[in-house]
Structures are given as structure tokens and as C-alpha cells.
Structure 1
Amino acid sequence: MDLPVSRAVASRYDELVASGEISKDPVQVEAVRCLDLLNTKLAETRLASKKSSLGWLFAKKKAELWAAVQGLYMWGGVGRGKTMLMDLFFEVTVIRRKRRAHFHEFMLDVHERIHAHRQAHKRGEVKGDDPIPPVAEQLARETRLLCFDEFAVTDIADAMILGRLFTQLFEKGVIVVATSNVDPNQLYKDGLNRQLFLPFIHLLTSKVRVLHLDSPTDYRLEKLAGAPVYISPLDLSAKDKTDELWRKLTHGVQPRSEELENRGRMIPVPVAAAGAARFDFSDLCAKPLGASDYLRLAHAFGTLFIENVPVMDKARRNEAKRFITLIDTLYDNGIKVVISAEAEPQGLYVAKDGTEAFEFDRTVSRLIEMRSEAYLAGEKEDVHA
């Protein structure tokens, strides 16, 4: 590593502060300190685990060394910098076997592995009808560090396997760093048979340090308030303005591409960083996506960039229908949106008849409201049918 391990995250954070990308926040500084402490512990454990040649006798000791490392669970409201901080940590951590995933995607992967094991067992290809131990073994071989964004448990199928799965993952020395909007003690609140889930909460809080990012400032709002979040027309400056807003919002965090799973299909996300995602209009509206896909995106990202929205006519009614559904979904979920478009909202759909023309009136109204400071502050009007 180029940076000293003990200050790897702090160095990157200080660079962002010095460049004016972010403002120094004492709550974030404490999170940075915790992340650097964790990275230092990971480096020490990594070194210690390589120093012995006791063979299989040391394998157990090695697992115990890693199992003693406490991860980190950062929770708080939107816009507090949780995802940015985890991304900085993920960039600089000494661990090479690492995985960053939305928690929902990780659990879908787990369910697929469980299903595959059960099918293999039916075919007589593997022994043992309990899929949890072999799945935990697979995951532990692949990944030493799991970084979860948007840790949330709403599904009873997830809730019922988490305790057994993570008991084994933690025993095998897997370390967890997570962001969430909720206190871990409130996970799966009011869920069916929640009493069966409580042991997992106790396990999790014993294996991670819990840090509440309770800063009074919503930095996502701070970056967007007063900014041109609806950019039109699509002239030479439109992309520059969009790029500048993206840079400000993501604090220079290294962008990545990823895929989100929804009902057995994958939704490509071309560019993502710091809780935001960036799409071309064609990515979202020229492909056969629907309301559930847009809802999946709304659950994964707090801000969406939608670029190059064209003027639509009757020949593009299918794209217009998807755009209507997309904006409805993002609006209903309070998602912040940055749009670059060929025309102002009132001029985006030019057909005068058909249901799309009627429905697009609502889209126009919502697009106008979604660039208001009240909407960006989380105060949508909820008056549009």
C-alpha cells in the first residue's frame, strides 16, 4: 500500500476535505478513526496468520485469530456519508479477499447457493442435507471481508437463516463492515416470528462495533440544494454540468459498475459510487424494465442520474410509458434525481392524444417538484395523483 495502514482512510478523507469535495464532520472523523483502527487490526492479523508453519494445527488457530477481529456497523439517516466512508475503506483495506455488496444481493446469492446444494443432494452428488455449513464454507473461502451497503432485513426467509449462517461465517473468521439506516437492535422490527431473529442481533452486535452517524447535516442535500439538478438543453455544457455534479455528490470516490438482481433478472448499473448511480435514458427506458425494476433501484440508491432524456412522441410511447413509471417510482420513494434532457419537462412528450399524453402531465408536475429544495430536503407534497 502507498498509504500508511494506520491512516489509510484518514489520508483519503483529508484529501477530500482539502480539495473542498466534502466538509470535515466530527462524526465522520470518528468513523474514519474506527475504520483505520480496523484496517490496522486486519493488517496485524494478516501478518500473524502467515507466521506459522504448523499446518493443519494452525488452521484452527488462524480462524480464531480472524474471528477475534471486530467489524463495524455504521448507521444513520440518509446523506450522512455512510456509503462514502465504506467505499473509502474498501478502496484502501489491506484485505484482498473482499466483497462489497448490497445486503439484498448478498442474500439472494445465499439463497441460490442453498438451492443449488439441495438440488445436488437430491441427485446424490453431495452428502448432508443441511445446506448452511457448505454454503458458509464456500463464502468463507471466497471472502475474508464482507462490506454490506444498506443492511436491512425485511424477508422472513432471510431472517430465519441469518443466525445459523453468520454464526459459521464469524467462526471461520469473516469480518463484516456494514452501513444501514437503522440501529441493529431495530432490524426486522415487527417482522413475523421476530423472537427467532433476536439471537442474530445479539450475535451481530457482539461481532461488530456499532457506530451511530448522527450528524445533523444531510450532505447529499447540501450538494444538491441550489444546484441545477435538471439540466436542459443537451448542449455542449450539459455533460460538463452533469459530470461536475456527479463529482461533488460522490466526493471523488472510485466509481464501479455492478448488477442488481430482481426476480431472477439482472439490472446492469453502469456507474455507481457513494450511494448514487448513473444511467443513460436508454439504459432505463429503452429496455424492457418495469416498476419492480425501478423499485429495486430506488431501494439500492439514494440518488439517480438519468442522462440524455429525449423529446418523445407517439413513436416512442413505450419509452414514454417506462419514463412515467420510472419517475412515479422514484418520486414515491423520495429518491433524489439529476436529469439532463433535450427539453424542459413540459416539452418532453409532444403527442397530444393517447393515455401517455394524459399521464405525462403528472410526470411533468413531479419533475418540476423533484428539483425543488423542498423535495430535495425530503418534503414532497404528496398531492399528485
Structure 2
Amino acid sequence: MLARLSDRNPVLAPDQLIGEMVPPTMFDEVSFDSYIPDPDEPSQTAAVNAARDFVARASKVRSGGKKSFFRKSAAPQGIGLYLDGGFGVGKTHLLASIYHAMPGPKAFATFGEVTNVVGALGYIDALERLSGHSVLCIDEFELDDPGDTMVVSRLLTELTARGVSIVATSNTLPGQLGEGRFAASDFLREIQKLSSIFETIRVDGPDYRHRDLPPAPEPMSDEELERQAENTVGATLDTFDGLIAHLAKLHPSKYKSLVDGVSLVCISDVRPAPDQAVALRLVALADRLYDAEIPVSISGVKLDELFTPEMLAGGYRKKYLRATSRLLALSRFAEAND
């Protein structure tokens, strides 16, 4: 019998949640030297230089507490760097390079993973566990609702006050976070507080994931999909409806462990996401699959039809486009290795 993601129910200990806050394996070996700036985009060279400078200054912050005969002084204020730019311009490469260059302990996570960790551990426990870190690297920084705004603002403010430096990537400038998703003006003070933490560096360039790539692959037939799953060691096969029902029962902090050890994810009868809640869970799953470089094969509608035109016209547009870009890359990977 073929394995199914919907049969898995990971159980994570608090230490495991924090311990998993590391860059995706595809970024294990990256460095500033391996980032090759586009010669036609001077902002990329400027971003590398800013990232190197951030490491130098943040490392001094962490070791900067002066000792007296009686006590050690409070940690100096952490610093912040915000890499803003479109999809696929190498922001995550730079973020992971900063992580590798900083002294430990340190943490790397997507914005969604940070909010999930806070939700799973509770605010106080998450704050205490992260307070000893030299840096918190946050990929794809977003604010999806007022609750996230308040929690993230408070968390980053308290972490920087304890000497933790923050570096984030996003395709939305800090002062524009939350626009189109909720009444941002009602939370302007909190958003401005977040903006004040960061020095913003713009990174321009085309999306490398879309360079010279063909359109979305044609979905398989159900029979072809089942045959591919049967012939691939470590593959899983779920129906779309069965998978989205299972995702609704799991805390998103478990999605990473949900796909651990899987070599290929096959999903039959894929259809457009029926509502926003389902769509956002699929985004979270797509991020975990992309981080783990797990190919995806499907039957049903094409993956670029997963999010409806109405969804793509709303406040989560950038998030859905990112997920589509990543799923298409994973589906092409599966097609190439079929």
C-alpha cells in the first residue's frame, strides 16, 4: 500500500522546534563568495556589501557587553537589516550566508515558521529560547493579520533589546507590511515600530526560477500518477481533498516534519483551493516542500491554477505567487526525473 502524508501525525518537542530553525539544505554550502551579482544590477553588489557589514557589526554587538568586577552589563541593542526585492533575486542566499557567518547560537526560519513557533511554544517560552541567539534570520517577512503584527513587533523589539540582531528578507518594504490584508492604518504605530528596527537594502533583478523555463507541466492522469508513486522509493500519494483535510488538523509548525524523509509527493485530483484558509495552508506546505527540495507530481488542474483569480487579486497575492513559483519548480524537477 502506498504511503500517504495524511496518515502522518508528527509530534515535536520544544527543543526540536528551535533546533529545526536552520536554513534549508539547498543553502547548506552558500556563502557571500558564492553569490554572483548580476553585472546589470548594481543593487546586488551593494546588498552583498551590506550583508557583510551587518555580520561584522552584529558580531561585535553580541560580544560587546562590558564586564565590571561585580557584574556584566546588559547586552547592547541588536541591529537589523532588511533585504527587500522581488522573487528569485538571491535574497535567501544572502540571508543564509549571514546565518553561516554569524557565531552561534543562531536561528533561521521563514516568517511563518517564526509565528508558528510562537504559537506552538507560547510567547514567553519562545522569547526566552531565542534570547541567547546572536541573530534571528527571517525569510519572506510578512504580516498577515493584526495578531501577527502585534506578536512580531513585540518579539523583535524585545529580542533586539536583549542583544539579538535581526535580518529579514521580503518583497514588501517594512512600512508597507500588512497593506491590503487588514486595516494597516489601525496598526500604524506597531508597523512603524517594526520599520525602525531595520536598515532597508533593495535587491533588484529578474526571478532566476523563471529564466528560460517552460509553462506549467501538464498534469498526469490518475493512472500515470499512481504508477510513478509505486515506482519511486519514499514517495507518497494523497488525494487533494484528503491532504487539505489533514493539513487543517495539524499545526503548521509540524508541516516540516510531515514531509521529512519523503522523496516525491504525489497529489491526485488537484483543484483550485476552495477558500483562503486552505490556500494559506497550501502555501505553508509548498514552502516546506521547496525548502526540502521534494519533487511534486499531480493529476487534476495545473499547479498555476491552484489559486483562483480572486485570490491572486487580493492581499495575499505575493504569497500565492511565491508558492506557485516554488510548486512549478518542484513539478518540473519531478518531470525531469520521471
Query: Same fold by TM-score, threshold 0.5 exceeded?
Result: yes
Relative distance call for 1:341 and 1:46 in structure 2 (3 A) is closer
What corresponds to 1:105 in structure 2?
Answer: 113
Shift of 1:40: 0.9
Q: Are 1:264 and 2:279 counterparts?
A: no
Deviations 1:108-151 (A, max 9, x none): 2112333xxxxxxxxxxxxxxxxx5665334313x331111111
Unaligned runs of 5+ in 1: 1-10, 115-131, 233-259, 273-277, 310-319, 345-385
**What SS class does the counterpart of residue 340 from structure 1 fall into?**
helix
- Tell me what 1:118 maps to: none
Is 1:71 the counterpart of 2:62 in the alignment? no
Amino acid at match of 1:295: V
Q: How many angstroms does 1:280 deviate by? A: 3.3
Equivalent residue for 2:52? 36
Secondary structure in structure 2 of the residue aligned to 1:173? coil
Aligned-CA RMSD value = 4.2
Q: Which has the larger radius of gyration?
A: 1
Give CA-to-partner distance per residue, 1:186-233, whole Å, 9 cap, x none.
Answer: 111144453442222222222211112233x222222x4379989x9x
Give the counterpart letter for 1:264 in structure 2. H
What SS does structure 1 have at the residue aligned with 2:46?
A: helix
Separation in 1 of the partners of 2:336 and 2:161?
55
Question: 2: distance between equivalents of 1:297 and 1:29?
Answer: 32
State yes or no: 1:340 paired with 2:329. no
Corresponding residue for 1:26?
A: 42
Specify every segment of 5 or more residues in structure 2 that has no aligned partner in the other structure, as ranges: 1-29, 221-246, 309-319
CA distances 1:13-49 after superposition (whole Å, capped 9, x unpaired): 44453xxxx6444211111111111111123234433
SS in 2 for 1:165: helix
Query: Given residue 80 of structure 1, which amino acid in structure 2 is its aligned partner?
Result: V
Q: Report if the CA contact (8 A) 1:145-1:176 is conserved.
A: yes
Alignment partner, residue 220 of structure 1: 209
Measure the CA separation in 1 of the matches of 2:294 and 2:102: 35
Give the partner amino acid of 1:167. T
Assess, with a 3 A threshold, how the Cα gap between structure 1 residues 302 and 76 changes in structure 2: closer, same or farther: farther
Alignment of 1:55-70 (within 5 A): 55=70, 57-60=71-74, 63=75, 65=76, 67=77, 69-70=78-79
Alignment map for 1:210-359 (pairs within 5 Å): 210-215=200-205, 217-222=206-211, 224-225=212-213, 263-264=250-251, 266-268=254-256, 280-281=263-264, 283-285=265-267, 292=278, 293-298=281-286, 307=295, 323-324=299-300, 327=303, 330=306, 333-334=320-321, 335-336=324-325, 337=328, 338-341=332-335
Residue 185 of structure 1 is aligned with which of 150, 175, 196?
A: 175
Does the CA-based 8 Å contact 1:295-1:330 persist in structure 2?
Answer: no
Do residues 140 (structure 1) and 131 (structure 2) align? yes
Q: 1:28 to 1:105 in 2, by over 3 A?
A: same
Query: Which residue in the other structure is 1:151 paired with?
Result: 141
Alignment check: 8 A CA contact 1:294 1:329 kept: no
Residue 150 of structure 2 contacts residue 190 of structure 2 at CA under 8 Å; is this kept in 1? no
Q: What is the TM-score normalised by the length of structure 1?
A: 0.54
Decide whether the 8 Å contact of 1:298 with 1:330 is kept in 2. no
SS of the residue corresponding to residue 72 of structure 2 reads helix
Indicate the SS of the match to 2:64: helix
Map Cα deviations across residues 57-102 of structure 1 (whole Å, 9 max, x no partner): 4242xx2x2x1x42111111112211121122222x2321111111
Code of the residue aligned with 1:327 in structure 2: it is L
Q: Which residue of 1 aligns with 2:93?
A: 84
User: What is the distance in 2 between the residues matched to 1:23 and 1:48?
Assistant: 36
Secondary structure at the residue paired with 2:167?
strand
Q: 1:16 to 1:296 in 2, by over 3 A?
A: closer
Number of equivalenced pairs:
254
Indicate how the Cα distance of structure 1 residues 100 and 140 shifts in structure 2: closer, same or farther if over 3 A, else same: same
Contact kept, 8 Å, 2:149 with 2:191, in 1: the verdict is: no
- CA shift at 1:262, angstroms? 7.7
Write the letter of the residue equivalent to 1:280: S
Alpha carbons of 1:196 and 1:88: their partners in 2 closer, same or farther (altered >3 Å)? same
Partner letter of residue 267 of structure 1?
Y
The Cα offsets for residues 242-288 of structure 1, whole Å up to 9 and x where unpaired, read as xxxxxxxxxxxxxxxxxx9984262237999xxxxx9733x3549xx
